[in-house]
């Protein structure tokens, strides 16, 4: 989120500092998961390895005396999540991705006699018994689900209204078990946030409209089941790219080809412009060429041209003699934007081998 806002900040400088026309494009690409599963693991069971949580799931409550500006009240609560809901949501999220041949849910509470959460992993004997009984290759177990909610009521004087928010951070923890291993294959600890808000003419009205504790636990527990998916499976990511256009006939015509998805012809014209021009036009061409190659999933050529654009920006603006933190014109910002783009391309390149290995199960 921070990087996205930084892109917008840099782009605003471009518009203010030059007459160059810039158009925002969107690209969707796949990133590898942090966990790699052998292609032989085709059937998985999701099990609930948490103890049965008592009806009163509130662990601790903290009312904050020192509140922010305009705040009337703030209270932070800590809960155990509903492990049954989280386990079911995790299984549904895994199944919806169609990555494994079959995903099943084990409804049994394995720790039904426990009275509090514990870190004990499943034993190898338990894993072997469960995989055999459920006819699966491996297990994904929910080990813990904790959550922290912060409720705030504020009065917005400029608007003459009351504003209430509930921000919940969920902390699901899962382990992956293989029957031929003594301990877990991997432990995945994740976190994410879910948010609600309400407006009203009175404090009591806003309080009554905000989500109740019971619904909060239910919806947050369901949300928590979806959080680990990006760590477990390859996933799609959307990102913004920028098309520099105008300044020459080649740049104008290339932009038309680009909008039509004809990246080969667009790149040919950008290369002609790159050879014929100097300064910013040369930089714009190199950046566009990199983006054009990325749109065709040619990450090697995309990185090569992004590095050329970065070098041009570096030399053109004498970066070594300026303080990067003091952006007082539109020149250093080009260098920063392109540097961020180089980092993204490098990240994609670095993960490509792992991604290909993770997706190989669909080629067999």
List pLDDT tens digits, range 33-62. Answer: 999 999 999 999 999 998 776 554 566 666
Q: Is the pLDDT of residue 185 over 90?
A: yes
pLDDT of residue 115: 52
Give the span between the Cα atoms of 26 and 148, in whole angstroms. Answer: 34
Q: 78: buried, middle or exposed (CB in 10 Å: 19+, 13-18, 0-12)? A: middle
pLDDT band at 64 (very low <50, low <70, confident <90, very high): low
Mean residue pLDDT of the chain comes to 86
> Once rounded to an integer, what is the mean pLDDT over residues 192-211?
94
pLDDT of residue 293: 97
Least confident span in 90-94, 103-107, 221-225, 271-275: 103-107
* Nearest Cα to Cα of residue 317 among 5, 6, 21, 17: 17
* Residue percentage of the chain with pLDDT more than 90: 67
pLDDT tens per residue across span 299-349: 999 999 999 999 998 887 665 554 544 444 444 567 888 899 999 999 999
Beta bridge partners of 237: 29
Walk me through the domains of the chain, giving residue ranges and CATH numbers: 2-20+247-362 (1.25.40), 43-231 (3.30.160)
> Once rounded to an integer, what is the mean pLDDT over residues 191-207?
94
Give the span between the Cα atoms of 198 and 151, in whole angstroms. Answer: 11
- State both tokens at 139: 């297990």
- Collect all residues with Cβ–Cβ distance below 8 Å to 339 and sequence separation of at least 6: 310
pLDDT of residue 113: 54
Burial 310-322 (b: 16+ CB within 10 A, else e): bebbbebbebeee
pLDDT tens per residue across span 71-116: 888 899 999 999 999 999 999 999 999 999 999 998 766 655 555 5
Look-up of token digits 């009203």: 200
pLDDT of residue 58: 62
Q: Are 252 and 21 in contact (CB under 8 A)?
A: no
* Nearest Cα to Cα of residue 42 among 352, 351, 360: 360
pLDDT of residue 92: 97
Which helix (DSSP H) or strand (DSSP E) does residue 181 occupy?
Answer: none
pLDDT of residue 127: 94
Q: Is the pLDDT of residue 120 over 90?
A: no
Q: Is the pLDDT of residue 279 over 90?
A: no
Least confident span in 169-173, 225-229, 322-326: 322-326
Q: Are 221 and 211 in contact (CB under 8 A)?
A: no
What are the φ/ψ torsions at residue 164 (nearest 5 degrees)?
-120, 140
Coil vs helix vs strand at 289 = helix
- State both tokens at 122: 């499943």
Of all residues in the chain, what percent are helix, strand and coil, respectively (each to 5)? 45, 30, 25
Beta bridge partners of 44: 103, 138
Q: Is the pLDDT of residue 126 over 50?
A: yes
- Collect all residues with Cβ–Cβ distance below 8 Å to 188 and sequence separation of at least 6: 34, 35, 173, 174, 175, 176, 228, 231, 232
């Amino acid at each position: 989120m921070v990087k996205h806002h930084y892109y917008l900040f840099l782009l605003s400088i471009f518009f203010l500092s030059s007459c160059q026309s810039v158009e925002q494009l969107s690209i969707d690409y796949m990133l590898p998961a942090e966990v790699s599963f052998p292609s032989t693991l085709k059937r998985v069971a999701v099990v609930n390895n948490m103890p049965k949580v008592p009806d009163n799931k509130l662990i601790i409550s903290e009312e904050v005396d020192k509140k922010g500006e305009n705040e009337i009240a703030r209270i932070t609560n800590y809960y155990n999540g509903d492990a049954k809901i989280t386990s079911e949501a995790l299984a549904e999220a895994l199944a919806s991705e169609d990555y494994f041949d079959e995903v099943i849910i084990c409804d049994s509470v394995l720790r039904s006699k426990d009275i509090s959460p514990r870190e004990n992993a499943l034993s190898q004997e338990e894993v072997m018994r469960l995989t055999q009984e459920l006819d699966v290759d491996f297990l994904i177990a929910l080990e813990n689900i904790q959550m922290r909610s912060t409720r705030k009521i504020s009065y917005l004087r400029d608007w003459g209204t009351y504003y209430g928010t509930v921000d919940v951070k969920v902390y699901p923890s899962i382990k992956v078990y293989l029957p031929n291993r003594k301990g877990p294959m991997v432990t995945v600890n994740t976190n994410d946030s879910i948010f609600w808000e309400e407006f009203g003419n009175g404090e009591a009205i806003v309080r009554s409209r905000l989500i109740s504790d019971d619904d909060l636990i239910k919806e947050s527990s369901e949300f928590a089941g979806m959080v680990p998916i990006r760590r477990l499976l390859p996933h799609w990511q959307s990102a913004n790219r920028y098309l520099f256009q105008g300044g020459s006939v080649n740049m104008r015509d290339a932009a038309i080809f680009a909008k039509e998805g004809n990246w080969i012809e667009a790149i040919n014209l950008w290369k002609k412009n790159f050879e014929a021009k100097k300064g910013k036009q040369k930089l714009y061409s190199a950046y566009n060429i990199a983006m054009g190659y990325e749109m065709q999933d040619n990450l090697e050529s995309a990185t090569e041209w992004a590095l050329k654009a970065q070098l041009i920006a570096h030399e053109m603006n004498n970066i070594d003699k300026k303080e990067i933190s003091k952006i007082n014109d539109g020149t250093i910002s080009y260098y920063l934007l392109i540097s961020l783009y180089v980092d993204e391309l490098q990240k994609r390149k670095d993960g490509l081998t792992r991604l290909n290995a993770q997706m190989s199960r669909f080629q067999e």
